[in-house]
Structure 1
Amino acid sequence: MTTPTIIHVEDVSKRFVMHKDKSIKERILNFSRARKHQDDFWALKDISLDITMGTTVGLVGHNGSGKSTLLKVVGGIIQPTTGNVSRRGRMAALLELGAGFHPDLTGRENVYLNSAILGLSRSETDRYFDEIVDFSGIEDFIDTQVKFYSSGMYVRLAFAVAVHVDPDLLLVDEVLAVGDEPFQRKCMAKIAQFQAEGRTIVLVSHSAEQVGALCDRVVVLEHGEMLHDGDPAQALRVLRGSFSDEAVRHEEKLEAEGRPEHHVVEVPQVTVTASDQDTDGIIAPRADIHVSVQYEVLETIEPWLIGVALETAVGNVVYRMTTRELGETLPLQPGTYELNVTFKNHNLGGGSYSVSVGLAYESGATILVVNPAATFEVADYGIGRGAIRLDVESSVKRIAAARAAGIS
């Protein structure tokens, strides 16, 4: 049996009009030439996707890529310029800090107001009220006007309301980045519970770790267009590639304008090899991993260092170190050089990894970051999963006889 679709997005585009006039007076004076004083900005361009029930979908991309716009279109907050969006089931949304809250009302009053907006009756809100307040952890301030709340208190109460209205669909836009660590863990646990219950979640986040941990599908957007829709690990590789492409375009733009970006050091090549790998380049367990960083010093430079990091496919750092920690002194004079680092008898778990390289002055200022600089694959071990491999032993033993009370 096919899983029903909860969100259907068909050829959706969204245009915003940007006015060049700096004041109402200028707009009135230029009314007859209005088109010359405005530009069209297409935040979304022909986006189509179906989201089935019970999935957790991440929307990622650089700033201005259209993630939040797409989430608001899905949530019905803004209407698309062209195309159609259809949804089913009860929806709850956390699209921006304090959305749906009235600053002059107390936290208690806003709980009832927000619950009503999300479709709960007063009697249903009465039934959930104590749970909402307990989850938010702001019992002492529940009868205070929310305009006196901190950003963390806003998020606590808004998230508590959203997850207690029994939604079939939860939309979340970056607000989980606000709030202290214990509350973030509580939110992640609640989302995990929602996933176990088969609810649908659409999440916008800049955290690769969060996206990799929560999502079973990721959509990558760039300049309003969809670059990828599918596997999270592959999506985050595409995302990193889009960041690199953006940097290249930025440099090309500067060069076209006659002001090229200046680097005192360049990294033309980073390679990864191993003492034991198959014909496809997949690295065997316990092999030595060799990372070679070729770099070119273009002019005399102040004391500096190179950082090398191994990261998982979703961007979590497994291990990082710098040449200063390794006791290596880097050359200051122009020339082409090579840094070789060997990770002896690696304990990495099976899967895809990347190498990132960062160059910085010893004073701390960044020179250049290349991420990812190279990728590699480690063979599966067959026992357990994770970013590292541990030698594990196990046993089963009887510590007591079963109690007689109805146990056979």
Structure 2
Amino acid sequence: MSPVIEFNQVSKRFVLHKDQRKTVQERVIGLVRPRPPGDVFWALRDVDFTVEEGQSLGLVGHNGAGKSTALKLITRILEPTSGRVRTRGRIAALLELGSGFHPELNGRENVFLYGSLMGIGRREMERKLEEIVDFADIGPFIDTEIKHYSSGMYTRLAFAVATAVDPDILITDEVLAVGDEAFQRKCMERIYGFRRAGKTIIFVSHALEVVRSLCDVAVWLDHGQQRADGPAGTVIDAYLAEVNRKEKIRLENERTREGEESEDASPATESLFRRGTREVEVVRVQLLDETGEERAVFHTGKSLTIRIHYEAHEPITEPVFGVGIYHESGIWISGPNTGFDSVAIPRIMGQGFLDYTVNDLPLLTGRYSLSVAVVDSTQLHVFDLHDRLYQIVVHNDAGRERYGMLALRGTWRCDA
């Protein structure tokens, strides 16, 4: 194999001018006076990597890390400030919505326009037209000006054309961010088909598990600088470790602020998230890992302990403690309690705590909210309920299940 894309110490600089001229007089004066120097912004700084023929490369990093700038340099939309970018072969690119098509032309005309830009004649594009229209699934709208298209229709047509011209290199930037579920599946099927055909793919997505399964190698960009490159799984694990670290700091800071604000909260504000008669109060909730360390980020398959600190202001017989686990989408995943699990608590008085431990956390990558509650033995009278007041982030670093909310850990049997 030989490189089809080479990034050799590439940097890209933008100058952001603070031009405050608003009146006609000020604009005229500005024609003879030099513009004031602007702020220099380095979108990329000394980025260096190569992509071999037939490889799939994933670009990962936060929003604004420089991923889209790198793609624009590969497609020659931008030129580097320093360094060198080399490419070999026909490139089809799906970048930001709106690039590549003319809004005043209809879908059919834009198909031929795209083909001409790729060096493909009208006769060949006519042979591909039926396949393109069928994949895009936009029916009679193919003869409508695309300025009237929805974002989903536009993306379907753009993807259909870009993948129909048989490129050597396919570049996609968040192609799954727009479109319905059926379209996303069709896109991924075609992308995997390109990979099986030995095409080179540059894939940008925040769906890291898709990057992990699709890409051979990856590059992690952080504020324009290259933090890591190598096998996709290794790079993604390093990126997630940094995300975990920052997420932990952020959530801890938010909890500190929320604690300060709750001291001054009015009863009306508090009642939005908490209710109960308070004969028993939940005074603190800790989220602990297997070492007993309090944290906000947990991992699939590892231990999670929810420690509920309480204070009973009077003797309470047979209280029931419970927790609720919710996905960020609002789906209630589970709601265990000591009553259902036949955990006898004869009587409480004063201060104490109760632990609920999940030794093998089945939650997959995502954000989750936790509720805690203490109720009477009938589970009808609420002493204290904290409704989704606690947040955790879960990452599935190396689990064999990647999609959905829960790891079922089932077994397979093949009778072939």
| TM-score, length basis structure 2 | 0.69
Contact 1:356-1:371 within 8 A present in 2 as well: yes
List aligned pairs for 1:59-98, cutoff 5 A. 59-98=59-98
Tell me how far apart the structure 2 counterparts of residues 42 and 366 of structure 1 sit (CA, whole Å).
40
Residue of structure 1 equivalent to 2:215: 215
Asked if 1:234 is matched to 2:257, the reply is: no
Q: 1:99 deviation in Å?
A: 1.2
List aligned pairs for 1:2-401, cutoff 5 A. 3-24=1-22, 34-35=36-37, 38-247=38-247, 261-262=257-258, 269-271=288-290, 291-293=303-305, 305=323, 307=325, 325-327=335-337, 338-343=355-360, 358-360=368-370, 367-372=390-395, 388-390=409-411, 392=413, 394=415
Contact 1:107-1:144 within 8 A present in 2 as well: yes
Tell me how far apart the structure 1 counterparts of residues 97 and 181 of structure 2 sit (CA, whole Å).
18
Sort the Cα spacing of 1:354 and 1:336 in 2 relative to 1 into closer, same or farther, 3 A: farther
Q: For 2:220, what is the secondary structure of its paired residue?
A: strand
Deviations 1:39-98 (A, max 9, x none): 111111110000001111111111111111111111111111111100001111000113
Tell me how far apart the structure 2 counterparts of residues 9 and 88 of structure 1 sit (CA, whole Å).
12
Structure 2: gaps of 5 or more residues: 263-283, 293-300, 312-320, 340-347, 372-384, 401-406
Contact 1:272-1:292 within 8 A present in 2 as well: no
Q: For 2:167, what is the secondary structure of its paired residue?
A: coil
Contact 1:294-1:339 within 8 A present in 2 as well: yes
Q: 1:336 deviation in Å?
A: 7.9
Contact 2:57-2:202 within 8 A present in 1 as well: yes
Q: For 2:5, what is the secondary structure of its paired residue?
A: strand
Tell me how far apart the structure 1 counterparts of residues 65 and 148 of structure 2 sit (CA, whole Å).
33
Contact 1:308-1:356 within 8 A present in 2 as well: no
Sort the Cα spacing of 1:340 and 1:290 in 2 relative to 1 into closer, same or farther, 3 A: farther
Q: Percent same amino acid among aligned pairs? A: 39
Q: 1:222 deviation in Å?
A: 1.0
Q: 1:334 deviation in Å?
A: 9.6
Contact 1:304-1:360 within 8 A present in 2 as well: no
Contact 1:268-1:295 within 8 A present in 2 as well: yes
Tell me how far apart the structure 2 counterparts of residues 251 and 321 of structure 1 sit (CA, whole Å).
22
Structure 1: gaps of 5 or more residues: 274-288, 310-319, 379-385, 396-408
Sort the Cα spacing of 1:97 and 1:179 in 2 relative to 1 into closer, same or farther, 3 A: same
Q: 1:233 deviation in Å?
A: 2.4
Q: 1:207 deviation in Å?
A: 0.9
Amino acid in structure 2 at the alignment position of 1:87: T
Tell me how far apart the structure 1 counterparts of residues 41 and 175 of structure 2 sit (CA, whole Å).
25
Tell me how far apart the structure 2 counterparts of residues 81 and 195 of structure 1 sit (CA, whole Å).
32
Tell me how far apart the structure 2 counterparts of residues 212 and 56 of structure 1 sit (CA, whole Å).
10
Residue of structure 2 equivalent to 1:281: none
Q: For 2:290, what is the secondary structure of its paired residue?
A: strand
The alignment of Structure 1 onto Structure 2 pairs a total of residues equal to 342
Tell me how far apart the structure 2 counterparts of residues 296 and 271 of structure 1 sit (CA, whole Å).
16
Q: For 2:303, what is the secondary structure of its paired residue?
A: strand
Sort the Cα spacing of 1:209 and 1:225 in 2 relative to 1 into closer, same or farther, 3 A: same
Q: 1:377 deviation in Å?
A: 7.9
Tell me how far apart the structure 1 counterparts of residues 351 and 170 of structure 2 sit (CA, whole Å).
55
Sort the Cα spacing of 1:104 and 1:7 in 2 relative to 1 into closer, same or farther, 3 A: same
Tell me how far apart the structure 2 counterparts of residues 54 and 178 of structure 1 sit (CA, whole Å).
26
Tell me how far apart the structure 2 counterparts of residues 215 and 136 of structure 1 sit (CA, whole Å).
25
Tell me how far apart the structure 2 counterparts of residues 335 and 81 of structure 1 sit (CA, whole Å).
63
